[in-house]
Structure 1
């Protein structure tokens, strides 16, 4: 679906370590700023135990999980909005992503340099947020200047649009001028349509990723508590993760070894798994399944999609020629153990074009082209 999460933060906070663990492919990581210049892009499988359970009941030749894309963007510094530290290039990379994972350093380690010489996650978050806000403010200022000119062409379509967007631009100037993100303002649906043309970085959904050491996983340290308090104010998600520990787990060769490591560490789920799930959900993505002898596959759709749109994820012809869909939920399969038992129990339904697909549906589409 082309949706992705950009991993951002100050230099040396653990972005590339986390990215490498996510993708199990080494991104350049070093103890100096700007070791990542061009963004690394990784396609990551979405862990989903439901997929495995379905395959146990409907054994396939192939098992294909859903995926989500992550982009590792170089560290930003003060002055990035003015070009410091290749800032303009990095900001452009962030603008092209659909959501932001803001990695924050929440651990002490004298061997890993911090660009500001001390650990202060709220200061670090503010540094990044101000730079992103200033970059957006420049965009807003330019649009407002153009809108002012368009207003002079009274009666034209451009003048009407300029009159609609001008109050929005005024609100944005005040908010961004204080270094606060555009997502902090309550916007109506109509306003959000107009906002899309601005491609604002600070309007993107954001999740804070607290990178801690191994001792910080058992209970929140003071740094994590501060980040969580800020996130609560912003209504943002938070994930606590030990980047180095996750990198160690990812370096293991087999799933059995990884599970043994988790068991020994007293972890039911890896931090990366939580991060992937929350990122997937933050992007508004959900999963339905197709199941048969050839393959059991997880397909990604947008929350709220109707059956024809979900069918179009497989192939555009499925959407164009959609007739109906045979649907049951995977939890019913887990209960009844087979599709034939599902049918006998009245759990298999025929749905039409207005059916809103649910996360966990198992679907078979009928179409005609």
Structure 2
């Protein structure tokens, strides 16, 4: 999973990126501090995996990972090349989902590219640039597809109809993801990599002094939420500055600091959960002395295809899957033998749909 972190200059985007990846991306109080995208690979926090590791003491511990890409600050006119915009937009095309950081705090010592703090205006600035870029992409494809209709291939008629509907939505200020497309239409347009077709999470960057309050009802956060929720988007509030401070602490110090601030969960943990939900992802687990590992799959994946994530031979020669839910195993103190005696380990076949937190042993023969 690759998430692109975007935002206007000076909204705390690189500060948040540094905090969640500890990758040391440059962060400064001037526009275009980030030019080439910084990339950080982050282990997905998973208490279930930690618990299994405490039981098996494995030789290898492998959590799921997320790739975060810190993309340079966008400005008005990016779709026309302003602020190296075309280059930055191309970086967004490569990610699975967008994390848009929005400034929701006042600080006279940190300049704002538009002179004042206004989360709705900031979101509109970026989203319209993404829309303008998509309009150009769709327009070029539409011209080509309309010419290809003459070949008699029916797929071009389907493509043209879909493109016209998407363009109409973009023209009215709506993202491509708002257009309901049939599966065939989605496949035909997939290679366009439309920016506004990507799922999006809005991160409201709040001041440290606002933590511990009812952050959802902070005026600027509320303003942002009321604007984006009708579009089916989610908002999560974090303090990038505090997350940066937390990232430099050891586990015990971090827990104490979070308790003092009234933070129940780190920004990374919240972001990972929302990202998995947004992209329809779950994790299944494999456990034993050699390795304890989490595997990320799409919700609805059947057992053979899940096995294929480990090795193609597992899918090709799939026989069955021995499955136990994590919670069921934990209730027994992690005792797999007792679980087997109680009949809690199920034998599942090719039609079994994997569930989040399944602990699995695949049986195969090739």
Q: Give the shorter-chain TM-score range.
A: over 0.9
Q: Could you say which residue in structure 2 is the equivalent of 1:179?
A: 173
Distance in 2, Cα, partners of 1:187 & 1:161: 14
TM-score (norm. length: structure 2): 0.95
**1:308 aligned to which of 299, 304, 307:** 304
Q: For 1:152, what is the secondary structure of its paired residue?
A: helix
Q: For 2:274, what is the secondary structure of its paired residue?
A: helix
Q: How does 1:247-266 map to 2 (within 5 A)?
A: 247-252=244-249, 254-266=250-262
Distance in 2, Cα, partners of 1:180 & 1:318: 43
Whether the 8 Å CA contact 2:4–2:99 is kept in 1: the answer is yes
Q: Quote how far apart the aligned CAs of 1:59 are.
A: 3.5
Distance in 1, Cα, partners of 2:139 & 2:6: 25
Q: 5+ unaligned residues in a row in structure 2: which ranges?
A: none
Q: Could you say which residue in structure 2 is the equivalent of 1:346?
A: 343
Deviations 1:305-358 (A, max 9, x none): 111111121122222222211111101101122111111111101111211111
**1:286 aligned to which of 282, 295, 299:** 282
**2:185 aligned to which of 188, 191, 209:** 191
Q: Could you say which residue in structure 1 is the equivalent of 2:239?
A: 242
Q: Could you say which residue in structure 1 is the equivalent of 2:331?
A: 335
Deviations 1:240-283 (A, max 9, x none): 1000000000012x212211211222222112211122123322
Mean alpha-carbon deviation: is it higher for 143-152 or for 238-247? 143-152
Q: 5+ unaligned residues in a row in structure 1: which ranges?
A: none
Q: How does 1:124-135 map to 2 (within 5 A)?
A: 124-135=122-133
Q: Could you say which residue in structure 1 is the equivalent of 2:293?
A: 297
Whether the 8 Å CA contact 2:162–2:181 is kept in 1: the answer is no
Root mean square deviation of aligned Cα: 1.4
Distance in 1, Cα, partners of 2:361 & 2:127: 45
**2:27 aligned to which of 2, 26, 29:** 29
Q: For 2:344, what is the secondary structure of its paired residue?
A: coil
Whether the 8 Å CA contact 1:134–1:179 is kept in 2: the answer is no
Q: Could you say which residue in structure 1 is the equivalent of 2:225?
A: 228
Whether the 8 Å CA contact 1:289–1:362 is kept in 2: the answer is yes
Q: Could you say which residue in structure 1 is the equivalent of 2:84?
A: 86
TM-score (norm. length: structure 1): 0.95
Distance in 1, Cα, partners of 2:263 & 2:122: 29
Mean alpha-carbon deviation: is it higher for 217-226 or for 276-285? 276-285
Q: Could you say which residue in structure 1 is the equivalent of 2:365?
A: 368
Distance in 2, Cα, partners of 1:270 & 1:73: 22
Residues 80 and 274 from structure 1, CA distance in 2 versus in 1: closer, same or farther, beyond 3 angstroms?
Answer: same
Distance in 1, Cα, partners of 2:44 & 2:227: 28
